[in-house]
């Protein structure tokens, strides 16, 4: 009897398996978790296939710690890294709509990303070292060596396209208040993102283009692919930060223009793309990312 039931269950589960269509690499469905950090360039631990340190196999530790986190300049969340003081940065300044961003506004997640992408702070400059490694408030360089395909590499950001530096006046404004209805044709914050029609005026094929990602306009929000999220969900404290557009954990394989290069071969460095960690499924196809906030 037990046997039969098990067999029946197995038949059912095999049945379910066989009708589930294989999901394309660039297809993310509502409710899917925005995953992939382990296989991405944001894994700096010893088991990573990219730039990595043999000092630890941990992944999260290069950014987060459960205790003793660094909260200077409102650094978030549970931040385990040293940060350059925001006064060392040159802020965007004043926008065309007369919004002013000064360097004391820079904080939160943007300062967190910049704790590597400033091109100055070393990757191993952490507060709470892995295991019993100890705590250094404010962070300190741990002296780890970093390798790429077995070859010693620098332990701070060198690839020029990835170094934003200390001058943020030449980057899209960050730590800027989202002035819905008053600046830069910004849509209302309660706009449901998937309802925004970004295909109007484009060729009919735009709806199905990029496996339908262009028409769907799904974004990773709160760690999941969502069709319910609003623009407010992209903001942090009412502001646009790096993580409004990027999800540092989401190895996004859906941006055609970037991912056509993805071949998963041995020369990991410039071959594999993480879809630039963009939050939008489909990346910036048809400038869909830009036109989600800006009604242009």
Q: Which is nearer to ligand HEC, 97 or 208 (CB)?
A: 97
Q: Decide if 106 contacts 73 (C-beta within 8 A).
A: yes
β-bridge mates for residue 97, sequence order? none
Binders in 91-110 for ligand HEC, by CB under 6 A: 95-97, 99, 109-110
Question: Which CB atom, from 84 or from 183, has the smaller least distance to ligand HEC?
Answer: 183
Distance CA 153, CA 51 (A): 8
Cα-based torsion angle of the residue sequence 66, 70, 73, 74 in order, rounded to the nearest 10 degrees = 10
In the bound complex, what is the minimum distance in angstroms from residue 35's beta carbon to ligand HEC? 10
Contacts of 21 (CB under 8 A, 6+ apart): none
Residues in CB range of 153: below 8 A, 6 or more apart: 51, 146, 147
Of 18 and 190, CB closest to ligand HEC: 190
Interacting residues with ligand HEC between 245 and 264 (CB under 6 A): 245-246, 248-249
Q: Report residue 164 as tokens.
A: 């934003």
226 token code pair: 């969502």
Tell the residue number behind the tokens 């969900």, with chain if given: 233
List the interface residues with ligand HEC, window 129-158 (CB under 6 A).
Answer: none
Given the rule CB under 6 A, which residues bind ligand HEC?
37, 41-42, 44, 51, 59-60, 62-64, 77, 95-97, 99, 109-110, 112-117, 123, 159, 161-162, 164, 171-174, 176, 178-179, 183-184, 186, 222-223, 234, 236, 240, 242-246, 248-249, 269, 273-277, 284, 289-290, 292-294
């Amino acid at each position: 009897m037990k046997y039969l039931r098990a067999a029946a269950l197995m038949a059912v589960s095999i049945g379910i398996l066989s009708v589930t269509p294989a999901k394309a690499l660039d297809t993310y469905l509502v409710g899917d978790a925005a995953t992939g950090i382990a296989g991405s360039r944001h894994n700096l631990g010893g088991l990573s296939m990219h730039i990595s340190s043999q000092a630890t196999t941990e992944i999260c530790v290069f950014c987060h710690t459960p205790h003793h986190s660094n909260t200077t300049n409102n650094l978030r969340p549970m931040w385990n890294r040293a940060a350059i003081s925001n006064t060392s940065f040159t802020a965007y300044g004043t926008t065309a709509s007369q919004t002013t961003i000064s360097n004391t506004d820079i904080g939160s997640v943007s300062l967190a990303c910049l704790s590597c992408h400033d091109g100055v702070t070393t990757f191993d400059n952490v507060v709470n070292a892995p295991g019993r490694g100890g705590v250094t408030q404010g962070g300190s360089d741990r002296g780890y060596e970093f390798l790429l395909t077995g070859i010693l590499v620098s332990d701070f950001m060198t690839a020029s396209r990835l170094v934003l530096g200390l001058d943020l006046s030449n980057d899209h404004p960050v730590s800027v208040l989202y002035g819905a209805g008053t600046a830069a044709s910004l849509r209302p914050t309660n706009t449901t993102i998937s309802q925004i029609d970004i295909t109007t005026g484009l060729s009919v094929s735009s709806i199905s283009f990029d496996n339908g990602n262009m028409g769907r306009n799904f974004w990773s929000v709160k760690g999941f692919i969502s069709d319910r999220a609003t623009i407010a969900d992209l903001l942090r404290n009412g502001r646009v930060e790096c993580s409004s557009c990027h999800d540092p954990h989401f190895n996004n394989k859906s941006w055609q223009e970037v991912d056509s290069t993805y071949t998963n071969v041995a020369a990991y460095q410039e071959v594999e793309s993480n879809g630039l960690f963009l939050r939008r499924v489909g990346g910036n196809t048809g400038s869909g990312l830009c036109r989600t906030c800006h009604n242009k």
